Structure 1
Amino acid sequence: MKPPTAASVHLLIVLLPLAGAVAMAAAATDGPPATYLVFVDPTPPGVTCMTYHLGILSAALGSEEKAKAAIIYNYKNVINGFSARVTPSELEAIKKQPQVNRVLPSATLHLMSSNFDGVS
């Protein structure tokens, strides 16, 4: 291997701060938090729904405090899951959890009409 030349050392000195700035900009532009619906596997026997959902979210976000701050609602009757307000990078970490089946953005839908075959 050849020793570095003055030009390659100069290039390295110029590019290293630029690489750090790019990494900081990427972290800063993670994006604003949004609300998502997270559908998960059935809750194991003997574990409460809230504990199970907080465990999944804590594993993804890195702490129980962050999970408690992010979670909005727990669903347990028709589906098993929760809604949470998270950033795009946190969303990617949630999607990687083995118990997570599907993640959808939360949306409010409005009826175009309330008149269905004469029933309102």
Structure 2
Amino acid sequence: MQTRRVQSFSLVLPPLLLVISIFISSIAIVMAEVPSEATVHIIFTEKPPVDDVESHHIHTLTAVLGSEEAAKQSLIYVYKNAATGFSAKLTPQQVEELSKQPGVLQIMPSQKMQLHSGRVGLH
């Protein structure tokens, strides 16, 4: 009786391990293929030493994104007055790489704020 259980177990174990390993491999492949979604971030920088601030920011982004075209597509807005910096769509990995670039002071995820009307509560 005991040997039958061992034989049954030894017959079931290899296919079971194969199914489990295929399942784990497929999960790993799917996770590797799904890129991190890019979200909008605000990047505060030191004042660029050049007059063409936008070109400077594109150059900074190019170092991380790999091409000037990708940098231009990612760039959303250039801040020149109250603060120096720009906003861009970046993945978490790109945020990490950009934070190491010279002149980058801080990177914050952009947040939508709900404006409040002055009329609330006045009836």
State the partner residue of 1:110: 114
Q: How does 1:36-115 map to 2 (within 5 A)?
A: 36-44=41-49, 46-115=50-119
The secondary structure found in structure 2 opposite 1:89 is: helix
Higher helix share: 2
The CA distance in 1 between the partners of 2:65 and 2:38, in whole Å, is 13
Query: C-alpha displacement at 1:30, in angstroms?
Result: 3.4
Cα RMSD between the aligned structures? 2.6
- Segment drifting more, 82-91 vs 68-77: 82-91
Q: Which has the larger radius of gyration?
A: 2
Question: Equivalents in 2 of 1:94, 1:28: separation in Å?
Answer: 23
- Give distance in 2, aligned partners of 1:95 and 1:37: 12
Aligned to 2:34: 29
Q: With the length of structure 2 as denominator, give the TM-score of the two structures.
A: 0.67
Distance in 2, Cα, partners of 1:27 & 1:47: 41
Per-residue CA deviations over 1:28-74 (Å, capped at 9, x if unaligned) read 23321100000011110x44111111111111111111101100010
TM-score (norm 1): 0.69
Q: CA deviation at 1:112?
A: 3.9
Percent identical pairs in the alignment equals 34
